[in-house]
Amino acid sequence: MITKNKTWLFLFTSVFFILSLFFKPYPLSWLMKLLPMAILVFIAISQLKDKTGKIFIVGLVCSGFGDFFLDYEPINGFVLGLGSFFIAHVCYLIVLKPIEKKKLGLVGLYGVYGIAIFSLIAGGLDELFIPVLAYMSILLIMAMMTLVSKRSNNWLVLGGLSFVFSDSLIGIDKFYYPIPYAPIMIMLSYYFAQYALLRGFIVSGKTEEAA
């Protein structure tokens, strides 16, 4: 399990970076952004020892690369960031197998929501139309998998939901209409999503061992 001390350390570094957004740009902001993810990677390495766990760790590391690209070079690095997070979600998909037929109604809601959000932002995408469509598709599939996976639990579901919420804010703010304090809400929901996915995956592993 994730100890209270590690949770508090993750929380402290996350809040510290989020508060620092009021002072951006500043040197090495990308490093401050990566600290919470580095803590999650450290926790994952200490907890997840099997092959599936290592794939999950690769997902976290790819997310870290995505964070770096989006912060270090927000414009030119956007596609690299999308690509990094695309690979991260592929990793999360792999570790969420196998599937159970449950909560299919909620899966449909994700599909309807994704179509609605993409329709909203599509007009502002231009040359990013295909990359964003591909990323949104894999993101939504990952979120759906948290519902129908045999590993599914409340933490995983919350992680998938928070990831979709965070990236929806990015899409709307960047390609449709600026949202006041969007970076604050984006990072709050993003850090929570990564923490919840890791915690949910660890919990699911303990449940399988006990079964």
At 208 the pLDDT is: 62
Torsion, CA 197, CA 198, CA 204, CA 207, rounded to 10:
-140
Q: What are phi and psi of 126, to 5 degrees?
A: 55, -120
3-state secondary structure 187-199: HHHHHHHHHHHHH
How far is residue 134's CA from residue 28's CA, in Å, rounded to a whole number?
30
At 205 the pLDDT is: 83
At 209 the pLDDT is: 58
At 57 the pLDDT is: 98
At 210 the pLDDT is: 53
Q: 204 is written with which tokens?
A: 């699911």
How far is residue 95's CA from residue 52's CA, in Å, rounded to a whole number?
6
At 10 the pLDDT is: 98
Q: C-alpha distances in angstroms, 123 versus 77, 126, 167, 179?
A: 21, 7, 17, 17
At 103 the pLDDT is: 72
DSSP secondary structure letter of residue 66: H
Instruction: Give 112-143 as a DSSP string.
Output: HHHHHHHHHHGGGTGGGHHHHHHHHHHHHHHH
- pTM, whole model, 2 decimals? 0.95
First to last CA, the chain: 17
DSSP secondary structure letter of residue 28: T
Tens digit of pLDDT at every position of the chain (211 positions): 788 999 999 999 999 999 999 999 999 999 999 999 999 999 999 999 999 999 999 999 999 999 999 999 988 999 999 999 999 999 999 999 998 877 777 889 999 999 999 999 999 999 999 999 999 999 999 999 999 999 999 999 999 999 999 999 999 999 999 999 999 999 999 999 999 999 999 999 876 655 5
Query: Residues 142, 89: contact at Cβ < 8 Å?
Result: yes
At 102 the pLDDT is: 73
At 177 the pLDDT is: 96
